[in-house]
Chain A
Amino acid sequence: MIKTLGLEYYKIRRKKIWLMITLFLGVEMLWAFMSITRSIAKNPDHAVWESIVFNISSMNGLFMPIISAIVVSRICDMEHKGATWKLLVATNVRRGNLYAAKYICANSLLLFGILTQAVMMIVFGLMKGFPGTPPIEILLQFIVVNLLTTLAVTALQQWISLAIKNQTFALCLGMLGGFVGMTAGLFPGEARHIFIWSYYLDLSPVTFHYTGSTSLYITQPVGAGIVLFALAMTVLFYIAGSIHVSRQEI
């Protein structure tokens, strides 16, 4: 298993996946930072740590599903392109191991992206001189819920990317996810829980409230129910995908 995982990292060399994640999330961060700077200019009350966490969380609803789809697709597509799946299976690699290795590889790369986001948020907050020290607890929560949601999203993406050779399907699903994630706030509460992509916002440690003429950021506890739901989806997608792909004839 360790060998299979090591091989995944070896195989993605020259695929420039790191660079792609960095650039993609870099654009997102830049956009978020600019919009916060503008909002602070209008309303100095917004110069708080919570604002940056909330903004990034809601924008992740758009960006993370898409970058997840791209990363997973890149990692899976190389096996389709060179017909290497049969080579690996005929060389005594268990399909279940291969599936797990790809899943871990993709998620470790995306975790790197999430961690980078957290670091950038701290840097930005310090630069802007937000009051107080960086809210470690909120940031940790941000990291955990983003990873949790990403785990479910990648489980779904990997299933599609490996089961259907044409990567257009997987990438379209990623874009659909981004759309749902971006507009999650507009859906009624219960209905949106069936869409995994809305969890970037739903599980966000910070939310935004309008009270009359003023608006403010407040921290919210993470709902245990939704967390369980996300975990259940991860397990479901992963197991279904792994079994389906392992049974496919080569």
Chain B
Amino acid sequence: MNTSAIVQTQNLTKKHGSINSVNKVDLYVQEGEIYGFLGPNGAGKTTTLKMLLGLIKPSEGTINIFGESLNKRRSTILQRTGSLIESPSYYGHLTGLENMRVMQRLRNVPDKNIHEVLRIVRLENQKDKKAEQYSLGMKQRLGIAMALLAFPKLLILDEPTNGLDPAGIGEIRELIKSLPARYGITVLLSSHMLSEIDQIATSVGIISDGNLLFQGSMESLRKKGRSAIRLKTGDNTKAEELLLTQGYSLTKGGSRLEFDNLADREVAEINRLLVEHYIPVTRIEEQKKSLEDIFLELTGKERSL
């Protein structure tokens, strides 16, 4: 096993009745990463993260965190893990500060941690207000502060920007981005928003209907967005016929001719062929697939995200 794997699951499965809400997932999160766990609603993100924290039991599969089995070393693992799952947890009748004190007792950390995390999430001025009087975004900040309190080695955040306003989303994003370098924290966060993951994550796992469809660096995901070359000519029908006889495979015909995966040399060759046959070439365009396109292609879902 790779020693730098902070989280590693094998064949992780959760059955709800006969349905596999999480199906044979092999997660692999490396130290120092910000791992974005991406998937549409109901994909199984929360279910997976709950299993990592021992809140629910997997139907099948194994979980290793910090290189140790969650089954055997749950207690030591959880001591070094902070989390925020689904809606933030808080005691409504206690103030923000008192909620932090509850966590402080559980985590055995000094007072200065409380003040530091409250400052980080910008709740210092609201800390004496009862948590039930907090707005949704403030509760979310409190939840993040509680998860962060002990500056754990691993931070698991389920949709951390839920309920935050755009400024808040930006703030939390910058905060999360700074965590690996500043505190040596590895972050595993889930989201159904591609744009969010795109801006934060260094690695990404895409889950849909319980299946992990892609896992790798953000770079490798972007590379999947191969470019397509589109041509427009004076006589597309003739051009199509010609190029087909020359062994070029078109992905789309009609008003625009489209080719996948063309090398620069091939583009030049096609252009020369057309011109030699007196077909005027009016446009040569490169079209890059957006991450959105890749994501929709992978998940096979035409819903907007």
Q: Which A residues contact B (CB, under 8 angstroms)?
A: 3, 6-7, 10-11, 13-15, 78, 81-84, 86-93, 249-250
Question: What are 25 A-B contacts with C-beta separation under 8 Å?
Answer: A6-B105, A7-B106, A10-B101, A10-B102, A11-B91, A11-B94, A14-B94, A78-B93, A82-B89, A83-B89, A84-B90, A84-B91, A86-B50, A90-B53, A90-B55, A90-B81, A90-B83, A91-B78, A91-B103, A91-B107, A92-B78, A92-B106, A249-B55, A250-B50, A250-B55
Quick check: is B75 within 8 A (CB to CB) of the other chain? yes
- What residues of chain A lie closer than 8 Å to B78, measured between beta carbons? 90-92
* Closest beta carbon of chain B to A25's beta carbon, Å: 23
A92 to B85, CA, bound (A): 15
A15 to B92, CA, bound (A): 11
- What residues of chain A lie closer than 8 Å to B106, measured between beta carbons? 3, 7, 88, 91-93
- What residues of chain A lie closer than 8 Å to B85, measured between beta carbons? 86, 90
A92 to B98, CA, bound (A): 19
Mark interface residues in B91-135 (1 if CB within 8 Å of A CB, else 0).
111100010011101110000000000000000000000010000
B55 adjacent to A92 (CB under 8 Å): no
- What residues of chain A lie closer than 8 Å to B94, measured between beta carbons? 11, 13-14
A250 adjacent to B83 (CB under 8 Å): no
A88 to B78, CA, bound (A): 11
Secondary structure type dominating chain A contacts: helix
**CB-nearest residue of chain A to B95:** A14
* Closest beta carbon of chain A to B215's beta carbon, Å: 24
B98 adjacent to A13 (CB under 8 Å): yes
Mark interface residues in B168-188 (1 if CB within 8 Å of A CB, else 0).
000000000000000000000
Nearest 4 interchain pairs by C-beta: A87-B89, A92-B78, A250-B55, A90-B53
A87 adjacent to B146 (CB under 8 Å): yes
> Given contacts A83-B89, A87-B146, A92-B79, could you give 18 more A-B pairs where the C-beta distance is less than 8 Å?
A3-B105, A6-B105, A7-B105, A7-B106, A10-B105, A14-B93, A83-B86, A83-B87, A84-B89, A84-B91, A86-B89, A89-B55, A90-B53, A91-B107, A92-B74, A93-B106, A249-B55, A249-B56
A93 to B89, CA, bound (A): 15
- What residues of chain B lie closer than 8 Å to A6, measured between beta carbons? 105
A127 to B49, CA, bound (A): 64
Quick check: is B216 within 8 A (CB to CB) of the other chain? no
A-B contact count (CB 8 A): 67
* Closest beta carbon of chain A to B85's beta carbon, Å: 6
* The one of B74, B83, B92 that contacts A82, using a Cβ cutoff of 8 Å: B92
A81 adjacent to B92 (CB under 8 Å): yes
- What residues of chain A lie closer than 8 Å to B42, measured between beta carbons? none
A87 to B78, CA, bound (A): 11
- What residues of chain A lie closer than 8 Å to B131, measured between beta carbons? 82
* Closest beta carbon of chain A to B145's beta carbon, Å: 12
A15 to B132, CA, bound (A): 14
A224 to B92, CA, bound (A): 45
A61 to B87, CA, bound (A): 41
A249 to B102, CA, bound (A): 23
- What residues of chain A lie closer than 8 Å to B234, measured between beta carbons? none
- What residues of chain A lie closer than 8 Å to B253, measured between beta carbons? none
Quick check: is B61 within 8 A (CB to CB) of the other chain? no
* Closest beta carbon of chain B to A246's beta carbon, Å: 12
A11 to B53, CA, bound (A): 24
**CB-nearest residue of chain B to A82:** B90
- What residues of chain A lie closer than 8 Å to B79, measured between beta carbons? 92
B105 adjacent to A250 (CB under 8 Å): no
**CB-nearest residue of chain A to B107:** A91
* Closest beta carbon of chain A to B253's beta carbon, Å: 53
A250 to B102, CA, bound (A): 20
Tell me the residues in window 275-289 of chain B with beta carbons closer than 8 Å to chain A beta carbons.
Answer: none
- What residues of chain B lie closer than 8 Å to A10, measured between beta carbons? 98, 101-102, 105
- What residues of chain A lie closer than 8 Å to B93, measured between beta carbons? 14-15, 78
**CB-nearest residue of chain A to B108:** A3
Pick from B56, B86, B89, B146 the residue with the most CB of A within 10 Å: B89
- What residues of chain B lie closer than 8 Å to A13, measured between beta carbons? 94, 98
B54 adjacent to A90 (CB under 8 Å): yes
* Closest beta carbon of chain B to A137's beta carbon, Å: 42
- What residues of chain A lie closer than 8 Å to B98, measured between beta carbons? 10, 13
Pick from A14, A82, A90 the residue with the most CB of B within 10 Å: A90
**CB-nearest residue of chain B to A250:** B55
A7 adjacent to B55 (CB under 8 Å): no
A153 to B98, CA, bound (A): 31
A190 to B74, CA, bound (A): 48
Mark interface residues in B61-77 (1 if CB within 8 Å of A CB, else 0).
00000000000001100
